[in-house]
Structure 1
Amino acid sequence: MTSSPPKDVARKGRGATFDPHNRFAPTTSEPVDDGWWQDAAPTSLATEVRDEASKSALSWNRSPDLPFDRSLNPYRGCEHGCIYCYARPSHAYWDLSPGLDFETRLIARTGLVERLSEELCKPGYVCRPINLSGNTDCYQPLEAERRTTRAILELLLACRHPVTLVTKSALILRDRDLLAAMAERRLVRAFISLTSLDAELKRTLEPRTASPQARLRVMRELSADGVPVGALISPLIPGLNDHELERLLDAAQRAGAQTAAWMLLRLPHEVAPLFEDWLKTYYPERAGKVMSLIRQCRGGKDYDARFGHRMRGEGVFAELLEQRFQKASKRLGMGQRSEMGLDVSAFRPPHAQGDLFQ
């Protein structure tokens, strides 16, 4: 007879150590040792994908913290498995857990190009940059098979519609031909998320993302193609990777990044217990200090969702991070993240692409 497997188990290639309760579910279940033999928890989990027919393409927001008002996400859930991902709680809307389900049970949205084309054709549509990866990474591993992001870029290039992209993946280089063509017309900016130069930290913090060196290579190659590149130093985690701030900016600037931005770690809803359990699993000697510093930046709580506070935090430690970022970026001549400079004047709706009589 063996006891029930522990709830919290580190699994190879995955960020979360367990599946927290779905806050929308009316019931909960917990493993109990009833004396019967049970299999041990698997050390690895396969990725499952299901399709979802898209009813719409664009998501809209009015957040003053974001530099864009519309975004598009080809996939729900993300196999990258970043333990800190603020998008994890959104998986609960599909009756799935924000924990391991978020990175192993993915939803691929189908018909997005058709829905986007319809929305761009609406009479009242006003052209402004669309952000790809506002929630989950549009270049996560599933994109290599589905190619939805590439199809979207092809449509936007044909329409002369500006776009911004955020990714942690080297797969973006597959589409460098499209991005270079868009860059010639001032239609694109690419932001590469850079969290740490420590490959071992990256391995557990962001299991299935590109290595730090691969992300710097992406910056160099896109920059060489004329694509405007920015570095997103995010998230900064007090007591874990904040000491790398200046080195991250230095490395990004040498790789060709022209602009930079930073964000403090965000722990909404289920992300807080997931992150704390990850800390205790991989960095037990630092867990107490890290959580204490986070709470100092969040008014004593794990998270503060207020606009103007959620991205930066407050207090002495958060102010110090801001000062360090400003000083380093100024020294390096790196501007702030901006969608300014993208051309919205050349946009033409999809229905206007061809002559009706041809």
Structure 2
Amino acid sequence: MFKGRGAQIQVKNKFLAHEYVQEHIEGIDEFDEAAPGTKYIKIFPKTIVNKVESPDVGMDYSLNPYQGCEHGCIYCYARNSHEYWGYNAGLDFERVILYKPNAAQLLEKHFQNPRWNPRTIVLSGNTDCYQPIERKLKITRSLLEVFLKYKHPVGLITKNVIITRDIDLLGPLADLNLVGLHFSLTSLDEKVRRKLEPRTATAKQKLKTIEKLSQRGIPVSIMIGPVIPGLNDHEIPALIKAAANAGARGAGFTMVRLNGQIGEVFENWVQQAFPDRAEKILSQIKGAHGGKLNDSRFGKRMRGDGRIVQSIHRMFELSKAKCFTGIPHRPPLRTDLFVKTNKGQMGLF
């Protein structure tokens, strides 16, 4: 097995006519399949803010400073997006990371467009904005500086404890009701967590991060994403209770959906990671999606369907009601503070 990686195979990129395969063992020195390192590649897009068309993800605009993600979460729906860059949804997604060093400049240019009306922009609509390389590159931090400078609302989705580094920016944004954070928490079982998402922090570290952010007044909700029947669905009550005790103000969840090549990657992984219950897990996932590993229908693809899913939703709602009773509903992020200007830096004064 590839230690420290989620995916254990390369899969075919449907957009490419050719692919690398290992056919002759004598050519092993020329074949990069077993190389453990991660490659980081600069890219320079012309725009940075994306309009989200899907009605299922709960956001209107997203911004992704990175493509690919070294966290290696086996279930990640973003794996398929790596194919558009000429890579694959398997090991490539974890080992070839594209980053956008000009992201902050592009965001500022976007805000200076006189036609832009402020709407919450979510960092990590695709891949985690606080993945390991962020510690060095600080692209997400530079973006937060722009959001604070223009007093523009921002949402964040992450599972990395590196986020505490930026409390000095997130705190002032929270004071103005300009930031909302969803912290991903998938399992309290370290044996499961290490296999599901091998390069993420422990559950204990994640809970300490939620506590630290909450103590500063930064609103945190958890995202149990995804719920995998037969693997972590029974943990829902414990996950919600632990998050609430750490200061989280709410919770959400998504059902696992193995779209595109992710199905092949996941099936290979689950047979190796949990051979004793792999068939049960795959069977229950199919039971949640009409007999298939994935259901592409809007409204169903991230919620699932069927009796298993109904029981999961019921368990989630009961646990949420028990743990978050009395917590006031947080108002929408503000848009009225936005510093509207098309004059560049001097227009802010």
Normalising by structure 2, we get a TM-score of: 0.94
Q: Aligned match of 1:218 in 202, 209, 228? A: 209
- State the match for 1:102 in structure 2: 93
Large movers: runs of 4+ above 4 Å: 36-44, 350-358
What SS class does the counterpart of residue 251 from structure 2 fall into? strand
What SS class does the counterpart of residue 110 from structure 2 fall into? helix
- State the match for 1:256 in structure 2: 247
Counterpart mapping for 1:43-58 below 5 A: 45-58=36-49
- For the 8 Å contact 1:11–1:42, the answer to whether it is kept is no
- State the match for 1:296 in structure 2: 287
- State the match for 2:262 in structure 1: 271
Same amino acid, percent of matched pairs: 40
Provide the C-alpha distance between the structure 2 equivalents of 1:38 and 1:80, rounded to a whole number of angstroms: 27
Provide the C-alpha distance between the structure 2 equivalents of 1:276 and 1:97, rounded to a whole number of angstroms: 16
Matched, 1:316 2:307: yes
What SS class does the counterpart of residue 260 from structure 1 fall into? strand
> In proportion to residue count, which structure has more helix?
2
Counterpart mapping for 1:1-358 below 5 A: 10-32=1-23, 36=26, 38=28, 45-333=36-324, 340-349=331-340, 351=342, 355=346
Q: Give the residue type in structure 2 aligned to 1:305.
A: S
What SS class does the counterpart of residue 303 from structure 1 fall into? coil
Q: Give the residue type in structure 2 aligned to 1:318.
A: V
- For the 8 Å contact 1:127–1:344, the answer to whether it is kept is yes
Shift of 1:99: 0.7
Provide the C-alpha distance between the structure 2 equivalents of 1:248 and 1:94, rounded to a whole number of angstroms: 36
Shift of 1:283: 0.3
- For the 8 Å contact 1:117–1:350, the answer to whether it is kept is no
Q: Give the residue type in structure 2 aligned to 1:133.
A: S
Instruction: Point out where structure 1 has 5 or more consecutive residues left out of the alignment.
Output: 1-9
Q: 1:334 to 1:349 in 2, by over 3 A?
A: farther
Shift of 1:67: 1.9
What SS class does the counterpart of residue 110 from structure 1 fall into? coil
Shift of 1:327: 0.8
Q: 1:209 to 1:276 in 2, by over 3 A?
A: same
Shift of 1:235: 0.6
Provide the C-alpha distance between the structure 2 equivalents of 1:73 and 1:190, rounded to a whole number of angstroms: 15
Shift of 1:66: 2.3
Aligned residue pairs, count: 347
Normalising by structure 1, we get a TM-score of: 0.92
Q: Give the residue type in structure 2 aligned to 1:137.
A: D
- For the 8 Å contact 2:114–2:340, the answer to whether it is kept is no
Structure 1, residues 310-352: CA drift from partner, whole Å, max 9, x if none?
A: 111000001111111111101112699x985211110013656
Q: Give the residue type in structure 1 aligned to 2:199.
A: R
Q: 1:116 to 1:326 in 2, by over 3 A?
A: same
- For the 8 Å contact 1:113–1:152, the answer to whether it is kept is yes
Q: Give the residue type in structure 1 aligned to 2:121.
A: I
